[in-house]
Amino acid sequence: PRYEKDHAEAQLGVARMAIDTGKYETAEKFIKKLMAADPPPSPRQLAMAYLASAIVLDEQGKSAEADKEQARAFDTDSRNAELYILKARRLTRAGKSEDAIASIREAIKRDPKRANFYAELAKALLARPGGAKEAVESLNKAIASMGESPKLLVLRGNAQRADKDLDGARATFEKAMGLAKGKLPEALLALAEIARDRKEYPKALELFEKAKNESLSSAKNQAYALTEMGKIVEEQGDKKGALDRFKAAAGADASFAPPLYLMAKLFVTSKDKEQRSTAYQLLEKYLELDPKGEYAEDAKRLLEERKK
């Protein structure tokens, strides 16, 4: 029997996931496997593989070869709407965001019932200065054409937040939660953030706690929720409560850097030499994990001051 992992569709899926996460060597390996498969892949699979290969070649700085692979993709299966999504990825990477948006719109024109195409369009519009309003409009069209789904509603909620419409976003996320029967950690996290931004702290704490408990499959989400809870209770003057949550966050996901910096900040002005020493170790660890992170500049400044 042919094993599932050698199945062309599975190989294509792995290659695309590898591209999405920046693992280009893995992508290249699976694209080559797919192209050499016996029996050969379908024209759709082959065309997708050519375009995936073009994205990998771009990464290797071989743009002329990448252009050839893209041309082969469209020659192989010109009616395939997904090719326009992959082409948009190349255009985005080359800094041609308007052309990328046009390519995604072409994909939607060819296959208007694909929720992930609208997700790509919203992402591209949100990356453009002032594009949030247009992203909301495009998602409203998608919802009108395909009906409400938790995925589309979460996308619209994110776009509404970017457009500073917090009331609209809150209503959208709550509707998404209703459709998903409550099991939607990303909507819960968004609702918690909205409550936090509005300084509705008791509500924010309750929602972050809920999101943490529902994010059992995502260590990063758990760590993020705990970190945000720590920041809120610290602002309310509860340093011990903050420290407990930052510690729990660091324990939930050792690769998530912010709680390390936030713990260090609690200790760095301590009169206790040992606590100060711990703070500096935490700052160094923070910079190792996230050298360009949101707290990186301040972490460097605190370490510099120590040397004086």
Q: Do domains 1-80 and 95-183 have the same CATH topology?
A: yes
**Has domain 95-183 been given CATH number 1.25.40.10?**
yes
pLDDT band of 6, cuts 50, 70, 90:
low
Distance CA 133, CA 129 (A): 10
Q: Is the pLDDT confidence value at 66 over 90?
A: yes
Q: Are 189 and 162 in contact (CB under 8 A)?
A: no
Specify the CATH number of the domain 1-80. Answer: 1.25.40
Q: Indicate the average pLDDT of the chain.
A: 91
CATH code that applies to domain 200-255: 1.25.40
Distances 77 to 32, 71, 188 between C-alpha atoms, Å: 19, 10, 41
- Those residues whose C-beta lies under 8 Å from the C-beta of residue 252, and which sit 6 or more positions away, are 219, 222, 223, 226
Please determine, for residue 1, whether its predicted confidence score (pLDDT) is greater than 50.
Answer: no
Q: Quick check: 4 pLDDT over 70?
A: no
Q: What is the pLDDT, as a whole number, of residue 134? A: 92
Task: Summarize pLDDT for 77-91 with one digit per residue, the tens.
Answer: 988 999 999 999 999
pTM (predicted TM-score): 0.78
Q: Where are the alpha helices (DSSP H) in the chain?
A: 8-20, 24-35, 43-59, 63-76, 82-93, 97-110, 115-126, 132-146, 150-162, 166-179, 185-197, 201-214, 219-235, 239-252, 258-267, 273-289, 296-307
pLDDT reported for residue 127:
87
Identify the pLDDT of residue 12: 87
3-state secondary structure of 79: coil
- Once rounded to an integer, what is the mean pLDDT over residues 136-161? 91
Domain ranges for the chain: 1-80, 95-183, 200-255, 257-308
Percent of the chain, pLDDT > 70?
Answer: 97
Token pair in block for residue 302: 């605190």
